[in-house]
């Protein structure tokens, strides 16, 4: 029992250390936010995060059955996405998640804004 608790504590420390590597500019450099506005004004986006080696290790531990409390990796990705959407002003009224893919290679969330594109949106946001 003591060995399991020690292992869990070491694993949690590794996970949190890996998530800490997402802070600052390294997180922004490893994430892409691509926008697309359709002809009918639908505003779509694709948010992809390429995990650091430490976060990849944490993902592998989760795949082997160890679960981080409150699913820290997913929470971190969605927090980063919310911050990106707020910072860019792309989805002013919020968004709905259309799909997600969380794998060892990448974390991807596709979404659609609640509001339709304005003329300013069409000028400012272009697919990259």
What pLDDT score does 17 carry?
Answer: 45
Helix (H, G, I), strand (E, B) or coil at 118: coil
Q: What is the pLDDT of residues 8-56, one digit of tens each?
A: 334 444 444 444 444 444 555 589 999 999 999 999 999 999 877 655 5
Token pair belonging to 39:
């002809």
Token pair belonging to 108:
């991807």
Total-model pTM: 0.66
What is the distance between the alpha carbons of residues 44 and 58, in angstroms, rounded to a whole number?
Answer: 30
Domain boundaries in the chain? 2-124
Helix H or strand E segment including 108? strand 107-113
% residues pLDDT > 90 (the chain): 48
Query: Which band of pLDDT confidence, cut at 50, 70 and 90, is reported for residue 76?
Result: confident
Helix H or strand E segment including 45? strand 43-49
Query: Which band of pLDDT confidence, cut at 50, 70 and 90, is reported for residue 66?
Result: low
């Amino acid at each position: 029992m003591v060995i399991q608790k020690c292992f869990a504590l070491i694993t949690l420390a590794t996970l949190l250390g890996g998530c800490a590597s997402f802070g600052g500019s390294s997180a922004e450099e490893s994430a892409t936010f691509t926008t697309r506005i359709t002809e009918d004004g639908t505003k779509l986006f694709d948010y992809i995060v390429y995990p650091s080696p430490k976060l990849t290790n944490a993902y592998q531990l989760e795949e082997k059955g160890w679960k981080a409390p409150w699913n820290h990796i997913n929470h971190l990705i969605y927090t980063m996405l919310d911050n990106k959407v707020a910072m860019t002003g792309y989805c002013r009224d919020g968004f709905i998640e259309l799909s997600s893919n969380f794998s060892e290679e990448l974390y991807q969330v596709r979404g659609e804004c609640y509001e339709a594109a304005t003329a300013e949106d069409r000028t400012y946001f272009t697919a990259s």
